[in-house]
Protein backbone atom coordinates (compact mmCIF):
# COMPACT_ATOMS: atom_id res chain seq x y z
CA UNK A 1 0.00 0.00 0.00
CA UNK A 2 2.83 2.43 0.88
CA UNK A 3 6.07 1.95 -1.02
CA UNK A 4 9.37 3.79 -0.58
CA UNK A 5 11.67 3.41 -3.58
CA UNK A 6 15.22 4.77 -3.23
CA UNK A 7 14.13 7.66 -0.99
CA UNK A 8 16.71 10.15 0.28
CA UNK A 9 16.16 13.22 2.43
CA UNK A 10 18.84 15.88 2.83
CA UNK A 11 18.40 18.87 5.12
CA UNK A 12 21.80 20.31 4.21
CA UNK A 13 24.21 19.67 1.37
CA UNK A 14 26.43 17.52 3.56
CA UNK A 15 23.81 15.76 5.68
CA UNK A 16 21.39 13.06 4.58
CA UNK A 17 18.76 12.35 7.20
CA UNK A 18 17.71 9.19 5.36
CA UNK A 19 19.51 7.34 2.61
CA UNK A 20 18.17 5.00 -0.06
CA UNK A 21 15.03 3.84 1.74
CA UNK A 22 13.23 1.06 -0.12
CA UNK A 23 10.45 -0.95 1.53
CA UNK A 24 6.70 -1.60 1.33
CA UNK A 25 4.06 -1.35 4.04
CA UNK A 26 1.11 -3.64 3.36
CA UNK A 27 -2.54 -2.63 3.62
CA UNK A 28 -3.88 -3.17 7.14
CA UNK A 29 -0.41 -3.75 8.60
CA UNK A 30 0.85 -2.45 11.94
CA UNK A 31 4.32 -1.36 10.81
CA UNK A 32 6.84 -0.09 13.37
CA UNK A 33 9.87 2.11 12.65
CA UNK A 34 12.47 1.77 15.39
CA UNK A 35 15.97 3.00 16.02
CA UNK A 36 18.00 5.40 18.18
CA UNK A 37 17.36 9.14 18.30
CA UNK A 38 18.43 10.85 15.08
CA UNK A 39 18.27 7.69 12.94
CA UNK A 40 15.64 9.16 10.58
CA UNK A 41 12.50 7.34 11.69
CA UNK A 42 10.39 10.47 12.30
CA UNK A 43 11.66 12.00 9.05
CA UNK A 44 10.55 8.81 7.29
CA UNK A 45 7.11 8.99 8.90
CA UNK A 46 6.63 12.66 7.99
CA UNK A 47 7.47 12.03 4.35
CA UNK A 48 4.38 9.82 4.05
CA UNK A 49 1.98 12.75 4.56
CA UNK A 50 4.42 15.29 3.09
CA UNK A 51 5.09 17.24 6.24
CA UNK A 52 8.59 16.72 4.83
CA UNK A 53 9.20 16.13 1.13
CA UNK A 54 11.75 13.61 -0.08
CA UNK A 55 14.88 14.99 -1.78
CA UNK A 56 14.93 12.09 -4.24
CA UNK A 57 13.24 8.77 -4.87
CA UNK A 58 9.51 8.09 -4.87
CA UNK A 59 6.81 7.29 -2.34
CA UNK A 60 3.65 5.69 -3.69
CA UNK A 61 0.32 5.04 -1.99
CA UNK A 62 -1.86 2.42 -3.65
CA UNK A 63 0.48 2.44 -6.62
CA UNK A 64 0.35 6.18 -7.34
CA UNK A 65 2.98 8.79 -6.41
CA UNK A 66 1.67 10.65 -3.38
CA UNK A 67 2.99 13.90 -4.85
CA UNK A 68 0.26 13.59 -7.52
CA UNK A 69 -2.44 14.03 -4.86
CA UNK A 70 -3.54 17.47 -3.62
CA UNK A 71 -1.62 17.93 -0.37
CA UNK A 72 -4.72 18.85 1.66
CA UNK A 73 -6.63 15.84 0.37
CA UNK A 74 -3.61 13.64 1.11
CA UNK A 75 -3.45 14.80 4.74
CA UNK A 76 -7.21 14.56 5.28
CA UNK A 77 -6.93 10.90 4.37
CA UNK A 78 -3.99 10.18 6.66
CA UNK A 79 -4.57 10.36 10.43
CA UNK A 80 -1.69 11.65 12.55
CA UNK A 81 -1.07 11.11 16.28
CA UNK A 82 1.79 12.96 17.97
CA UNK A 83 3.67 12.45 21.21
CA UNK A 84 2.60 15.96 22.28
CA UNK A 85 -1.08 15.05 21.63
CA UNK A 86 -1.72 18.64 20.44
CA UNK A 87 -5.44 18.85 21.15
CA UNK A 88 -6.89 22.32 20.65
CA UNK A 89 -7.21 23.54 24.27
CA UNK A 90 -10.19 25.86 23.67
CA UNK A 91 -12.25 23.19 21.86
CA UNK A 92 -14.30 20.47 23.54
CA UNK A 93 -13.53 16.80 23.00
CA UNK A 94 -16.31 16.59 20.40
CA UNK A 95 -15.04 19.69 18.61
CA UNK A 96 -11.49 18.35 18.55
CA UNK A 97 -12.62 15.09 17.00
CA UNK A 98 -14.83 16.95 14.48
CA UNK A 99 -12.06 19.02 12.86
CA UNK A 100 -11.38 16.86 9.79
CA UNK A 101 -15.01 15.80 9.16
CA UNK A 102 -15.96 19.50 9.19
CA UNK A 103 -13.18 20.28 6.70
CA UNK A 104 -14.52 17.48 4.53
CA UNK A 105 -17.97 19.09 4.82
CA UNK A 106 -19.76 16.17 6.45
CA UNK A 107 -23.34 16.72 7.57
CA UNK A 108 -23.62 17.74 11.22
CA UNK A 109 -25.67 14.68 12.19
CA UNK A 110 -23.01 12.43 10.62
CA UNK A 111 -20.28 14.25 12.54
CA UNK A 112 -22.14 13.86 15.84
CA UNK A 113 -22.69 10.16 15.15
CA UNK A 114 -18.99 9.74 14.29
CA UNK A 115 -17.86 11.49 17.48
CA UNK A 116 -19.94 9.18 19.67
CA UNK A 117 -18.85 6.12 17.70
CA UNK A 118 -15.17 6.99 18.10
CA UNK A 119 -15.43 7.79 21.80
CA UNK A 120 -16.97 4.36 22.32
CA UNK A 121 -14.22 2.85 20.19
CA UNK A 122 -11.41 4.33 22.33
CA UNK A 123 -13.15 3.38 25.58
CA UNK A 124 -14.56 6.76 26.67
CA UNK A 125 -18.27 7.25 27.39
CA UNK A 126 -19.63 9.87 24.96
CA UNK A 127 -22.12 11.31 27.45
CA UNK A 128 -19.33 11.82 29.99
CA UNK A 129 -16.54 13.12 27.75
CA UNK A 130 -18.13 14.76 24.68
CA UNK A 131 -18.33 18.26 26.17
CA UNK A 132 -15.18 18.25 28.28
CA UNK A 133 -12.14 20.40 27.54
CA UNK A 134 -8.66 18.84 27.18
CA UNK A 135 -7.54 20.36 30.50
CA UNK A 136 -10.18 18.23 32.25
CA UNK A 137 -8.64 14.99 30.97
CA UNK A 138 -5.71 12.86 32.12
CA UNK A 139 -2.75 12.33 29.80
CA UNK A 140 -4.00 8.88 28.83
CA UNK A 141 -7.49 10.21 28.11
CA UNK A 142 -6.06 13.03 25.99
CA UNK A 143 -4.06 10.52 23.96
CA UNK A 144 -7.21 8.45 23.40
CA UNK A 145 -8.89 11.60 22.06
CA UNK A 146 -5.86 12.12 19.84
CA UNK A 147 -6.37 8.65 18.39
CA UNK A 148 -10.10 9.29 17.94
CA UNK A 149 -9.36 12.56 16.13
CA UNK A 150 -6.90 10.80 13.81
CA UNK A 151 -9.62 8.27 12.93
CA UNK A 152 -12.41 10.83 12.54
CA UNK A 153 -12.27 11.24 8.76
CA UNK A 154 -12.10 7.47 8.28
CA UNK A 155 -8.57 7.51 6.79
CA UNK A 156 -6.92 4.40 5.42
CA UNK A 157 -3.57 5.25 7.05
CA UNK A 158 -2.70 6.32 10.61
CA UNK A 159 0.75 7.74 11.43
CA UNK A 160 1.79 7.61 15.10
CA UNK A 161 4.98 9.36 16.24
CA UNK A 162 6.00 8.02 19.69
CA UNK A 163 2.45 8.67 20.92
CA UNK A 164 2.81 6.98 24.32
CA UNK A 165 6.36 7.89 25.31
CA UNK A 166 5.38 10.83 27.56
CA UNK A 167 2.90 8.76 29.59
CA UNK A 168 3.57 6.91 32.81
CA UNK A 169 4.39 3.19 32.43
CA UNK A 170 1.02 1.78 33.54
CA UNK A 171 -0.98 4.08 31.25
CA UNK A 172 1.44 3.41 28.41
CA UNK A 173 1.10 -0.35 28.81
CA UNK A 174 -2.70 -0.12 28.79
CA UNK A 175 -2.71 2.06 25.66
CA UNK A 176 -0.37 -0.36 23.90
CA UNK A 177 -2.82 -3.17 24.60
CA UNK A 178 -5.77 -1.04 23.52
CA UNK A 179 -4.25 0.25 20.28
CA UNK A 180 -3.28 -3.29 19.25
CA UNK A 181 -6.84 -4.49 19.91
CA UNK A 182 -8.23 -1.45 18.09
CA UNK A 183 -6.05 -2.15 15.06
CA UNK A 184 -7.38 -5.70 14.86
CA UNK A 185 -10.90 -4.27 14.87
CA UNK A 186 -10.59 -1.37 12.41
CA UNK A 187 -7.97 -2.89 10.05
CA UNK A 188 -6.28 0.45 9.28
CA UNK A 189 -2.67 0.68 8.11
CA UNK A 190 -0.70 2.03 11.07
CA UNK A 191 2.87 3.32 10.80
CA UNK A 192 4.24 3.71 14.32
CA UNK A 193 7.53 5.31 15.41
CA UNK A 194 9.21 4.28 18.66
CA UNK A 195 12.64 3.92 20.21
CA UNK A 196 11.30 1.36 22.70
CA UNK A 197 12.11 -2.22 21.70
CA UNK A 198 9.48 -3.76 23.98
CA UNK A 199 6.79 -1.52 22.45
CA UNK A 200 7.89 -2.51 18.95
CA UNK A 201 7.66 -6.20 19.81
CA UNK A 202 4.21 -5.85 21.37
CA UNK A 203 2.70 -3.80 18.55
CA UNK A 204 4.43 -4.55 15.27
CA UNK A 205 3.27 -7.02 12.64
CA UNK A 206 6.61 -6.13 11.08
CA UNK A 207 9.40 -3.91 12.30
CA UNK A 208 11.83 -1.74 10.33
CA UNK A 209 15.13 -1.21 12.12
CA UNK A 210 16.94 2.04 11.23
CA UNK A 211 20.45 3.22 12.03
CA UNK A 212 22.09 6.50 10.93
CA UNK A 213 19.46 7.17 8.28
CA UNK A 214 19.65 3.75 6.68
CA UNK A 215 17.23 0.85 6.79
CA UNK A 216 18.96 -2.11 8.40
CA UNK A 217 16.27 -4.77 8.13
CA UNK A 218 12.50 -5.29 7.92
CA UNK A 219 10.76 -8.32 9.39
CA UNK A 220 8.87 -9.73 12.33
CA UNK A 221 10.44 -9.43 15.76
CA UNK A 222 11.37 -13.11 15.64
CA UNK A 223 13.00 -12.72 12.21
CA UNK A 224 15.07 -9.76 13.32
CA UNK A 225 16.26 -11.56 16.42
CA UNK A 226 16.89 -14.97 14.87
CA UNK A 227 18.29 -13.83 11.51
CA UNK A 228 19.77 -10.35 11.92
CA UNK A 229 20.97 -8.85 8.64
CA UNK A 230 23.55 -6.47 10.12
CA UNK A 231 25.64 -6.13 13.29
CA UNK A 232 23.44 -3.19 14.34
CA UNK A 233 20.33 -5.39 14.26
CA UNK A 234 22.11 -8.19 16.09
CA UNK A 235 23.30 -5.84 18.82
CA UNK A 236 19.85 -4.29 19.27
CA UNK A 237 17.78 -7.46 19.36
CA UNK A 238 20.04 -10.01 20.97
CA UNK A 239 18.96 -9.35 24.56
CA UNK A 240 15.18 -9.22 24.20
CA UNK A 241 12.98 -12.25 25.03
CA UNK A 242 10.87 -11.71 21.90
CA UNK A 243 8.58 -14.74 22.28
CA UNK A 244 7.87 -13.94 25.92
CA UNK A 245 7.02 -10.28 25.19
CA UNK A 246 4.99 -10.86 22.02
CA UNK A 247 2.88 -13.60 23.61
Structure confidence at residue 45 (pLDDT): 96
Structure confidence at residue 6 (pLDDT): 97
Structure confidence at residue 16 (pLDDT): 86
Q: Which residue stretches of 21-80 are H helix?
A: 41-48, 71-76
* pTM for the structure as a whole: 0.92
Q: Over 60: is that where the pLDDT of 244 sits?
A: no
Strands 56-61 and 2-12: antiparallel
Average confidence (pLDDT) over 130-146: 93
Closest CA to 33 of 209, 168, 151: 209
Q: Over 70: is that where the pLDDT of 240 sits?
A: no
Q: Over 80: is that where the pLDDT of 123 sits?
A: yes
Q: Please tell me what DSSP assigns to residue 49.
A: T
| Separation between Cα atoms, residue 164 and residue 157, nearest integer Å | 18
Give the model confidence (pLDDT) of 159-184 as tens digits. Answer: 999 988 878 888 889 889 999 998 98
Q: Over 90: is that where the pLDDT of 91 sits?
A: yes
CB 6, CB 199: distance < 8 Å = no
Q: Over 80: is that where the pLDDT of 242 sits?
A: no
CB 162, CB 83: distance < 8 Å = yes
Taking only Cα atoms into account, the Rg of the chain, rounded to an integer number of angstroms, comes to 18
Q: Please tell me what DSSP assigns to residue 136.
A: G
Q: What percent of the chain has pLDDT over 90?
A: 70
CB 22, CB 2: distance < 8 Å = no
Amino acid sequence: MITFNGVDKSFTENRKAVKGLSFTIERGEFFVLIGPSGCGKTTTLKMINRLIDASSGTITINGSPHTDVDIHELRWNIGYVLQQIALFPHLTVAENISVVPEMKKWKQKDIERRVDELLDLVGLDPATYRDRLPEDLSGGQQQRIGVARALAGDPDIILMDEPFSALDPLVREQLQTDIKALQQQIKKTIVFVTHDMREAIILGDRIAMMEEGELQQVGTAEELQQNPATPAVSASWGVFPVKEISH
